[in-house]
Amino acid sequence: MKKKSIRDLDVKGKKIFCRVDFNVPMNDGTIADDTRIRAALPTIRHLSEHGAMIILASHMGRPKGKVVEELRLAPVAKKLEDLLGKEVRYSEEVIGEDVKEKIAGLKEGDILLLENVRFHPGEEKNDEELAKAFAGLVDLYVNDAFGTAHRAHVSTEGVAKYLPSAAGFLIEKELEVLGNALSDPARPFTAIIGGAKVKDKIGVIDNLLDKVDNLIIGGGLAFTFVKAQGYEIGDSLLEEDKIELAKSFMEKAERNGVKFYLPIDAVVADSFSEKANSQVVDINNISDGWLALDIGPKTADLYRNVIKESNLVIWNGPMGVFEMEPFAQGTNAVAEALAKAGDTYSIIGGGDSARAVEHFGLSDQMDHISTGGGASLEFMEGKDLPGIAALDEK
Ligand SMILES: Nc1ncnc2c1ncn2[C@@H]1O[C@H](COP(=O)(O)OP(=O)(O)O)[C@@H](O)[C@H]1O
Ligand SMILES: O=C(OP(=O)(O)O)[C@H](O)COP(=O)(O)O
């Protein structure tokens, strides 16, 4: 079902509650990466240029309903002001007298940023009273927080029940790119799934097996599959209770004609440390007491070739512990292969993979880097995202 867009709204002279995802990484009080703020600019500019009075709301971190000084949005207000080249007012309250006064002082085109919505205990409980209170302050609701669209909280879902609503440009773009990739994919279509948690990626692996031509597995989660193949994996990451499921995925791949790629060699270490002794071994040769922390060079070559021959690649989760230099090669190889494959449309599914691509300085060469890690995964699993489901239909 197509959702209303901000293009469909007459916003002139209207007060708009606009949810954005300004949950940016902070380093000693400064913003370490402003990607998410920049991603929201088209919507904010559109609303401002069309004469709306914009009340922005976002969370940062997980303060659990209490004020946490380090998680205030003051640095975000300043950054937004710099990026827009326009004044951004800021309230140190989520809701209350100061917010009311500041809203009353807004003129057409003006922007106010509220304090971190998760300082309010009602936000994550999706409290009805808080939703009504926000709705009572404004005329319209716009959601552009793709990264938080999988949460049913007041500012992402609850408030939409009491106001006419629409999606912002970022949500529209994310849905279009991810939706097109999954519903009408360019082929060969390859998904690369890595990272650490098998449990969190089961849904997406299952769903992708109905859609892709190639499924590449790397990262820590690969070793539950390697174990399921019957090899010993030493002290590598293992989710024992998922071995049977891993087997069933390999069988499903075979039934569906999906080529299923697992590591054929690995970089193993004698401890989980940058300074550990490490060596490359074939996958059937991982000894007791060693743990696999990256895919090996033969695997990297294999994965590179699959990427080169693909027309569409979705990537979620690093191939190894890329944060430690000795175990970064596999992730780097995949990122470089994607950067080099000019005709291959590359979609990075947020979270750690986006961080890895950034780390290797290759962000500019990817076609789409999603602003949502968890949200893009849930979308790819085929789940309804509450923050999007709640919006008015066209
Ligand atoms: N072989 C491995 N063993 C242990 N941890 C790994 C391995 N490969 C990757 N990781 C870790 O997985 C983490 C990312 O996992 P995850 O949260 O599932 O990914 P994402 O955030 O991309 O969804 C990274 O911090 C990385 O160090
Ligand atoms: O950073 C976020 O999610 P992500 O790390 O899955 O991309 C979003 O801002 C959601 O935050 P949350 O997982 O605390 O609800």
Q: For residues 223 and 238, is the Cβ–Cβ distance under 8 A?
A: yes
Instruction: Determine which residue's CA is closest to atom 4 belonging to ligand 2.
Output: 373
Question: From the alpha carbon of 371, which atom of ligand 2 is closest?
Answer: 7
Span 234-258, mean pLDDT?
Answer: 97
Residue 141 three-state SS: strand
* pLDDT surpasses 90 at 67: yes
* pLDDT surpasses 70 at 122: yes
Span 85-110, mean pLDDT?
Answer: 98
**Cα(380)–Cα(390) distance, integer angstroms:** 19
pLDDT for res 5: 97
Predicted confidence (pLDDT) per residue in 293-329, tens digit: 999 999 999 999 999 999 999 999 999 999 999 999 9
Span 339-367, mean pLDDT?
Answer: 91
**Distance from residue 292's CA to the centre of ligand 2 (Å):** 28
Span 211-234, mean pLDDT?
Answer: 97
* pLDDT surpasses 90 at 342: no
Placement of tokens 């994919």 in the chain: 185
DSSP output for 40-63:
HHHHHHHHHHTT-EEEEE---S--
pLDDT for res 1: 63
**Cα(339)–Cα(345) distance, integer angstroms:** 10
Question: Which residue, 169, 117, 138, 131, is CA-closest to 52?
Answer: 138
Please state, for a pLDDT cut of 90, what percent of the chain lies above it.
91
pLDDT for res 202: 86
Question: From the alpha carbon of 36, which atom of ligand 2 is closest?
Answer: 9
Which residues approach ligand 2 with their CB closer than 6 A? 21, 23, 62, 147-148, 151, 350-351, 372-374
Helix axes 74-84, 35-49, angle to 10 degrees: 60
Q: For residues 326 and 275, is the Cβ–Cβ distance under 8 A?
A: no
pLDDT for res 351: 81
pLDDT for res 80: 98
345 phi and psi angles, rounded to 5 deg: -80, 125
Percent composition of the chain: helix, strand, coil (DSSP 3-state, to 5): 40, 15, 40
Across 155-169, 289-303, 346-360, least confident range: 346-360
* pLDDT surpasses 90 at 189: yes
Q: Which two tokens stand for residue 296?
A: 């090996």
pLDDT for res 260: 98
With the most atoms of ligand 2 within 8 angstroms of its CB, the residue from 23, 26, 376 to mutate is 23
**Cα(147)–Cα(155) distance, integer angstroms:** 13
**Distance from residue 294's CA to the centre of ligand 2 (Å):** 25
**Distance from residue 35's CA to the centre of ligand 2 (Å):** 14
Ligand nearest, relative to CA of residue 200: 1
10 Å Cβ neighbour count for 257? 7
Which residue stretches of 85-209 are H helix?
97-104, 128-135, 169-183, 198-208
* pLDDT surpasses 70 at 144: yes
- With a CB cutoff of 8 Å and minimum separation 6, the contacts of 47 are 6, 11, 16, 18, 54, 142
With the most atoms of ligand 2 within 8 angstroms of its CB, the residue from 148, 380, 385 to mutate is 148
Question: Which residue, 119, 117, 120, 129, is CA-closest to 156?
Answer: 117
Q: For residues 331 and 356, is the Cβ–Cβ distance under 8 A?
A: yes
- With a CB cutoff of 8 Å and minimum separation 6, the contacts of 78 are 88
Placement of tokens 């690649």 in the chain: 313
Q: For residues 218 and 319, is the Cβ–Cβ distance under 8 A?
A: yes
* pLDDT surpasses 90 at 258: yes
Per DSSP, 347 falls in state: E
* pLDDT surpasses 80 at 84: yes
Which ipTM score applies to this complex?
0.93
Instruction: Determine which residue's CA is closest to atom 2 belonging to ligand 2.
Output: 147
State the pairing for strand pair 30-31/26-27: antiparallel
pLDDT for res 54: 98
Predicted confidence (pLDDT) per residue in 169-181, tens digit: 999 999 999 999 9
* pLDDT surpasses 90 at 278: yes
**Distance from residue 315's CA to the centre of ligand 1 (Å):** 13
Instruction: Determine which residue's CA is closest to atom 3 belonging to ligand 1.
Output: 220
Average pLDDT in the chain:
96
Reported confidence tier of residue 53, pLDDT bands at 50, 70, 90: very high
Would you name the residues annotated as active-site residues? 36, 197, 351, 374
**Cα(229)–Cα(248) distance, integer angstroms:** 11
